[in-house]
Amino acid sequence: MSGGWEPVIGLEIHAQLATRSKIFSGAATAYGAAPNTQACLVDLGYPGVLPVLNAEAVRLAVRFGLAIGASIASRSVFARKNYFYPDLPKGYQISQYELPVVQGGSLRIELDDGSSRTVRLTRAHLEEDAGKSLHENFHGLSGIDLNRAGTPLLEIVSEPDMRSAKEAAAYMRRIHQLVRWIGICDGNMQEGSFRCDANVSVRPAGSTQLGTRTEIKNLNSFRFLERAILFEIDRQIGVLEDGGRIVQETRLYDPDRDQTRSMRSKEEANDYRYFPDPDLLPLEISEALIAEVRATLPELPDARAQRLVAEAGLGAGEATLLTASRELADYFEAVLAAVGPGHARLAATWVNGELAAALNRDALGIEAARVDAQALAGLLARIADQTISGKIAKEVFEAMWAGEGSADQIIDRKGLRQITDSSALEQVIDQVIAANPGQVAEYRAGKDKLFGFFVGQVMKLTAGKGNPAQVNELLRRKLAS
Amino acid sequence: MALSKEDVRHIAQLARLALSEEEAADYAAKLSRILDLVDQLRQVDTQGVVPMAHPLDMAQRLRPDVVTEEDCRDLCQQNAPRAEGGLYLVPRVID
Amino acid sequence: MQGDDRSIAELARALRERSTSSRELVAASLARIERFDGALNAFITVTPEQALAAADAADARLARGEGGPLTGVPIAHKDIFCTRGVATTCASKMLANFISPYDATVVERLAAAGLVCVGKTNMDEFAMGSSNETSFFGPVRNPWDLERSPGGSSGGSAAAVAAGLVPAATGTDTGGSIRQPAALSGITGFKPSYGRVSRYGMIAFASSLDQAGILARSAEDAALVVEAMAGFDPRDSTSADLPVPRYVAELGRPLAGRRIGVPPEFFDAGLDAGCAARLREALEVLRQLGAEIVDVSLPHLGLSVPTYYIVAPAEASSNLARFDGVRFGHRSTAAGSLEEMYKRSRQEGFGAEVRRRIMTGTYVLSTGYYDAYYLQAQKARKLIAEDLRRAFDRVDVIAGPTTPTPAFRLGEKTDDPVQMYLNDIYTIAVNLAGVPGISVPCGFVDGLPVGLQLIGPAFGEAAVLNVAHQYQCATDWHRRRPADPPAGAKR
C-alpha cells in the first residue's frame, strides 16, 4: 500500500436475532430444515396475509442499543424497500429507513499494538431476512428456499471510522463478541447468522473529504473481511494512481482468488421507493420497556475486564482474553471462586494457557470443555498447596482432559504427589553430589550455570516430583558448604 | 405533467411490466392525464402539516415470540407454477 | 316476487322457529343464481356442494337448538376474500387458478356465526375500478338496467343482493367500493371504520385505505352481519383492539337530538340535479324525524381525488409486487430469462387498469418524485381528515350524496381513467380519514336508484347505522326491487 493514501471503512453488519419465531410470522427460525418447510403464508408473501411484529425482536434490538450506549427511539417506523428478486417473496423487504429503533452509540476496539480507539455507530435497525437462491443444476433453473425469509435481522451500521483492514476486523470481532455476550445473536457465521458488508474508500492522506466508496457484500468471516478490504484498498489506490476514477458499485469477494469483483447484475438503476409500510403502525417503545431490558442486561465485556483487573489484580491483556466471551468469563470466575481469590493470576494463566490450548486443539467452545471449572479449580488447588508442581500439573490436566478422573484421583493413582519432605530431598541431593564430584568442583570454582545441571539430576531421581523451590534452596545450601 | 415514452419505459422496468411500443405511447398519454389530475396537489399550501401515513393513530401491536405455524409446503406448492424437491423453480438467477 | 324478500332478521327467526330450513334458503339462492346470473355475471365461482353441506350442518345445529342469530342464512363473498380450498381470483387472470390454502378472518368469522357461503362474487380486478368493467371475468350488469354498470369494485356483490340472489354479500371499500355500487344498485352498503374489521385474508389493494364491509338490503341487516365480522384480530396489527358495540341495540333510538351535518361541498356543480333533488327530500325526511340539520364545511374535500390517486396506487404498486410468477399466480410460458419471466407474467396477468395504477404508484414513489407526490399527498390527507374531525365536533353524522350521478352505461367511461376516478369524489374522503360510511337508497332518477351517504366519526358506526335505520323505517326505497332479468345460463 502506498503511504500517501488513507483508507476509510465503515461496516454494515447483519446479525440474526435469536428469536424462536420469525420477525413478522409464527414460523420457526431453526436452521437447517428441509426447504420451504419453515416458510408459512406470511413468509411466502401470500395474497391477503399481514405481518405482525415479534415483541422479542424489539426487545433484542433495545438490548443491543443499550449495550452500545445508543438512544432508543421512542417511536420508530417500518418502511418497505421495493425491489424484485426471487428470494424476496413480497417484492419488498420490510425494514426501517428514516426512523430506526437504535440511533447512535459507540464501541471501543483494541488493536494488536495495545492501543484502542472508538468507533461510532450510526444506527441499528430491524428488518426481515430474505430466502436463498440455490444455483445447483435444476435443469438450468434456480431453486428458491424461503425458510430463511422473515428471520429477524438487526442491521448494525457504523460510521466510516475505521482506517485499516485490521481495525475493521477488530470492530467486527467486537460486535460479534457483544451480540453473543448479550445473547441477541448466536454469531454463527457458517450458518449466516452474522455477516458483514464493508464500505471502502481511500483518500489522499490528510484530506477530510470522503472518496467514492464501493460496497463489498456478504463477508462471512473475519479473515475474509480483512483480506477483502486489503485487496479493495490496493485496487482503489491502483486505479487512482493510474489516473482512473472509482465507480460506486457493489462488489463481491472471491476467497478462492482472494480478490473482489463487481456485481454488475445488481447495479442496474435500483430505485427502492421506500415508503412507510401501511400494514405496520409506528413502533412505540416505552421508558418502562427500556428500563426492564436494562435491568436484564449483563455486565458488559469492558466493565467485566476492568473489574477483573481491579478486583483480581489481573493484567489488562489477560482480562481482555478472559472476557472474549461471557461463557469464558463465567468459567474463569467460577474457577476463581472455587480456588480462592488469592490465586487469580494462577487461574488466569491456566485458563488462557492450557485450557485455551486444549479447547483450540479439539475445536471446542468453552461450554464443551472436557474439564469443568470445578475440576480445574481442584487441580489449581493442588498447585497452590504444593502437592504438585506446575510441570506435573500439565500432565495431570491432560489426564483430566482425557477423562481419567479428578486431579486428586490422578495424582494419587499415578503417585505424582510432590516431595516436600526436606530429609527425603536432602538424601537425593547428597546422592547427586556424591555421584558428580567433577561438576561439584567446577561449580564451586565459579561455574554458576552448572546449577541447572544439579536441579535436573535431582528432578530426574525424584521423577519430577521434587518441590522445585525446596530443591533449589537445599541444593544451594549443600553446594555452598 | 407530460410523461415521455422514455419515462414510461423506466417506470415499467421498475415495476417489471413488459410494454409494447403502442402501449408505451398509450401509457404516456393516460398517465400524463392522471398526473395532471394529481398535480393539483402541488399548489396546496401544506406548510407545517404533519404527513398522515395511516388513519389509525395508534401504536403498533406486537405478538409474543411463539412458533404457531406448521409446515404448509405441500399445500402451498400446489399453487406454484413450478416446484420440485420442495423448491420453487425460476429461470436461473445470475449474481 | 323477486326472490325472498325477507330481511336477515326475519330469515333468522324463521330458521330458529324451523318454519324454513337453511337447505331451503340456500337451494333457493343457488337456483336464482343458476337462473339469472347468466344475465348479471355477478358471480365468479358458485360452490353448490359446499354450500348445501354447510346448510345441512347449520340445520343440524338449529335442530339441536345451538344456532346463533345468523345460523343458516346464505351469503356470498366478494372474490377478494381468501376462501380455503376454493378459487380466490380477485377477478384477475393473475389468480385465475389460485386456490387459497386459508380462510380470511371475515370468512372464518361469518362461517363461525353460521352464515352459509354460496359463492364468490365478481368485482373490478384487484378492486381497482368503479364500474366492474376491469374484471378478467367480464363486467357485471346492473339489475335495474342491464346496459348499465352496477358500480364497483364490489359490483358483483351489489348486483347479487339487488337481484335477490343472496340476502347479503361481503364487500371491500378502498375509495367507495361498497358504497358506490350499493348506491348505483339500489341497496344498502356499509363500510365500517378502518381497523374495525380485520384485513387478514383480504387481498390488499391499498393497505391504509382498505376496509371490509357488507352489502345488504337494509341498515339493520348490515348491522347484524357486521357485528359478526367485526372485532380485533391478532393476525392484523392494524385492527383496533376495541370492543364492538351492539349496533343492533342502537338502531331503534329516535333521531330527536341527532345533529346531521350537510357540507355545501357535497352539493357542487358536479352533482346531477335529479340526485340533488332526491337528497334534499331525504334530508327533509331526517329533519321531520327530529334530526337537526346543520351546515358544516369540508374545505379540503376537493383534494380527496388527487390525494387518493397518489396514495392508493403507491400502496398498490408495492402490494402487487408479490405477484411475480414465482410462488403462485400466472407465469408466462414465453419467458426465457428471470427478467422476462417477471415482466411477461405481470404484463399478461394484470389487466390494463391494474397496470396503469401500478405504473402511477411506482412513479410517485420513485426518486425525485416522492416528496412532491407521496409526501404532499400524506399532508393533504391530514387536511382532509382534520376537516372531518372538526366537523364531528359539531355533528353526529354527515349526510350527502354517494355518487355524482346514477348508474352510467357500460363502456361510457372506460376510455378515460380520469373521468372514472372523478366518480369517487364523494366517497374517497371517508377512506382517507378511516371513518365509517353507509349508502342507503333514497329514491330514483329516470328509474335508476340514488344513494344517500351517511358518514360518522371514527368508530362511530352505531350513529351511522341508527340514522340509516331510522330513515329506512320512514321510507321504503330500500324495499324496491328490480324486475328479474331474463333467465339464461352463464355464457
Burial C169-190 (b: 16+ CB within 10 A, else e): bbbbbbbbbbbbbbbbbbbbbb
Which residues in C283-423 belong to E strands, given as ranges? 292-295, 397-401
Structural domain contains residue C209: yes
Q: Using the beta-carbon criterion (under 8 Å), do A142 and B16 form an inter-chain contact?
A: no
CATH architecture of A422-480: Orthogonal Bundle (1.10)
Residue C96 has pLDDT above 80, yes or no: yes
For residue A143 the three cell numbers come to: 431453486
Contacts of B63 in chain A (CB under 8 A): 26, 52-55
Cβ contact C101:B72 at 8 Å: yes
* DSSP designation for A170: H
- Confidence at residue A267, expressed as pLDDT on a 0 to 100 scale: 47
Q: How far apart are CA A169 and CA A90, in angstroms?
A: 34
Q: At C414, is the pLDDT very low, low, confident or very high (cuts 50, 70, 90)?
A: confident
Q: Is residue C271 part of a domain?
A: no
Do A284 and B16 make contact, defined as CB atoms within 8 angstroms? no
Kind of pairing, strands C43-46 and C116-121?
Answer: antiparallel
Q: Is C26 left (phi over 0), alpha (psi -120 to 50) or beta?
A: alpha
Q: Strand, helix or coil at C118?
A: strand
State pLDDT tens for residues C103-137. Answer: 999 999 999 999 999 999 999 999 999 999 999 99
DSSP class of residue A211 equals: P
Are the beta carbons of A54 and B67 separated by less than 8 Å? no
Looking at the complex, does the CB of residue C197 fall below 8 Å from at least one CB of chain A?
no
Is the CB of A281 less than 8 angstroms away from the CB of B16? no
Do A53 and B60 make contact, defined as CB atoms within 8 angstroms? yes
Distances (CA, A) of A124 to A67, A186, A200, A461: 12, 17, 19, 65
* Residues on chain C touching B19 (C-beta within 8 angstroms): 347
Spell out the residues 6+ positions from residue C197 whose beta carbon is closer than 8 angstroms to its own. C106, C211, C212, C213, C226, C229, C230, C231, C239
- DSSP state for residue A297 in the 8-state scheme: P
**Closest residue, chain B, to C309 (C-alpha):** B38
Neighbours of C77 (CB within 10 A): 31
CA C185 from chain center: how many Å?
Answer: 12
Judged on CB neighbours under 10 Å (0-12, 13-18, 19+), C259 is middle
d(CA C463, CA C449): 24
DSSP C373: I
Q: CB neighbours of A313 closer than 8 A, spacing ≥ 6?
A: A344, A345
Q: How far apart are the first and last CA of chain B?
A: 38
Q: What is the mean pLDDT of residues C176-186?
A: 98
Task: Give the pLDDT of residue C17.
Answer: 93
Place of cell 479439539: A362
CB contact under 8 A, A26 and B71: no
- pLDDT category at A264 given cuts 50, 70, 90 is low
Measured between alpha carbons, how far is A1 from A238 in angstroms, rounded to an integer? 9
Whether chain A has a CB inside 8 Å of the CB on C406: the answer is: no
The answer to whether B87 contacts chain A (CB < 8 Å) is yes
| pLDDT, tens digit (0-9, with 9 covering 90-100), for A420-454 | 788 888 889 999 999 999 999 999 988 888 899 99
Q: How confident is the model at residue A121 (pLDDT cuts 50, 70, 90)?
A: very high
Cβ within 8 Å, pair C318-A144: no
| CA atoms A315, A321, A323, A328: torsion sign | negative
Q: How far is CA C116 from the centre of its chain?
A: 19
The three-class DSSP label of residue A261 is strand
Pairing of strands A92-96, A132-138: unpaired
Question: Taking the domains of chain B in order of start, what are their residue ranges?
Answer: 5-42
* C chain contacts of residue B47, beta-carbon cutoff 8 Å: none
Q: With CA atoms as reference, report the closest residue to A50 among C208, C199, C173.
A: C199
Say whether C306 and B14 touch across the interface (CB within 8 A). no
Instruction: Tell me how far apart the alpha carbons of residues C141 and A36 are, in angstroms, rounded to a whole number.
Output: 43
- What residues 288-327 of chain C have any CB closer than 8 A to a CB of chain B? 303, 305-307, 309-310, 317, 321, 324-327
pLDDT of residue C221: 98
Domain shared by C316 and C224, yes or no: no
Chain-wide mean pLDDT for chain A?
Answer: 93
Co-location of C118 and C188 in the same domain: yes
Name the A residues in 140-199 with CB < 8 Å from any B CB.
Answer: 140-146
Q: Which chains touch B (3 or more CB pairs under 8 A)?
A: A, C
Q: Is A49's Cβ below 8 Å from some Cβ in B?
A: no
Are C285 and C279 in contact, with CB atoms under 8 Å apart? Answer: no
Closest by Cα among A290, A205, A214, A210 to A251: A214
A96: phi then psi, degrees, rounded to nearest 5 = -120, 140
Residues of B in contact with C382 (CB under 8 A): 49-52
Residue of C nearest to A82 (CA): C318
Structurally, chain C folds into a number of domains equal to 2
Mutate to test the interface with C, among B1, B6, B16 (most CBs of C within 10 A): B16
Does C289 share its domain with C306? no
Angstrom CA distances, C327 to A22, B15, B70, B81, C342, stand at: 20, 18, 18, 7, 12
* Shortest Cα distance, chain C CAs vs residue A280, angstroms: 7
Q: Chain A residue closest to C82 (CA)?
A: A48
Q: Give the residue among C471, C478, C457, C469 at the shortest CA–CA distance from C393.
A: C457
Neighbours of chain C (3+ CB pairs under 8 A): A, B
**HSE-up of residue A386 (Cα within 13 Å, Cβ side):** 9
Q: Give yes or no: residues C43 and C178 share one domain.
A: yes
pLDDT at A67: 98
> Is A77 at the interface with chain C, CB within 8 A?
no
Give the residue from C327, C355, C376 where a domain finishes. C376
Tell me, what's the pLDDT at A1?
A: 46
Chain A's closest residue to C369, CA to CA, is A273
Give every CB contact of residue B26 below 8 A, 6+ residues apart in sequence.
Answer: none
Which residues partner with A141 through β-bridges?
A138, B91
pLDDT (tens, 9 = 90+) of chain B, 95 residues, equals: 688 888 999 999 999 999 888 888 888 888 888 888 888 898 899 999 999 999 999 999 999 999 999 999 999 999 999 999 999 999 988 75
Distance from CA of C16 to the nearest CA of A (A): 35
Cell numbers linked to C227: 357485528
Best probe of the B interface among A22, A24, A29, A36, by most B CBs < 10 A, is A36
Residue of C327, C385, C417 with shortest CB distance to B88:
C327
Active site residues of C: 78, 153, 177
pLDDT, one tens digit per residue, over A132-160 is 999 876 778 999 999 999 999 999 999 99
pLDDT, tens only, C284-335: 999 999 999 999 999 999 999 999 999 999 999 999 999 999 999 999 987 7
Q: What is the span of the domain harbouring residue C398?
A: 8-265+276-296+387-479
> Which of A169, A160, A154 shows the shortest CA–CA distance to A120?
A160
Which residues in chain A are closer than 8 Å to B66, comparing Cβ atoms? 20-21, 26
**Which one-letter DSSP state was computed for residue B81?**
S
Is the Cβ of A257 closer than 8 Å to some Cβ of chain B? Answer: no
CA distance C185 to C122: 14
pLDDT the model gives residue C2: 59
Q: State what percent of residues in chain A have pLDDT above 70.
A: 98
Minimal C-alpha gap between A198 and chain C (Å)? 25
Name subunits touching A (3+ CB pairs < 8 A).
B, C
- Residues C371, C426: one domain? no
Name the residue ranges covered by the structural domains of chain A: 5-291, 299-414, 422-480
Q: Which of C376, C404, C426 marks a domain boundary? A: C376
pLDDT at A394: 94
Q: Say if C340 falls within a structural domain.
A: yes
Residues 364-383 of A with CB under 8 A from B: none
Output the CA angle A95-A98-A103, nearest 5 degrees.
Answer: 90
Cβ count near B6 (within 10 Å): 10
* DSSP 3-state percent helix, strand, coil across chain A (nearest 5): 40, 20, 35
Helix axes A373-384, A407-414, angle to 10 degrees: 50
Say whether both C54 and C173 belong to one domain: yes
Contact C363/A at CB under 8 A: no
Spatial separation of the C-alpha atoms in residues C262 and C189, rounded to whole Å = 20
- Put simply, the answer to whether B65 touches A20 (Cβ < 8 Å) is yes
A113: helix, strand or coil: coil
Among residues A386, A313, A299, the alpha carbon closest in space to that of A349 is found at A313
Closest alpha carbon within chain A to C321: A91
Name every chain C residue with its beta carbon within 8 A of the beta carbon of A41. 101-102
Q: Looking at the complex, does the CB of residue A267 fall below 8 Å from at least one CB of chain C?
A: no
* C-alpha dihedral, A330 to A335 to A336 to A337, nearest 10°: 90
- Name the architecture of domain B5-42: Orthogonal Bundle (1.10)
Q: How far is B70 from chain C (nearest CA, A)?
A: 13
Mean predicted confidence (pLDDT) in A249-267: 83
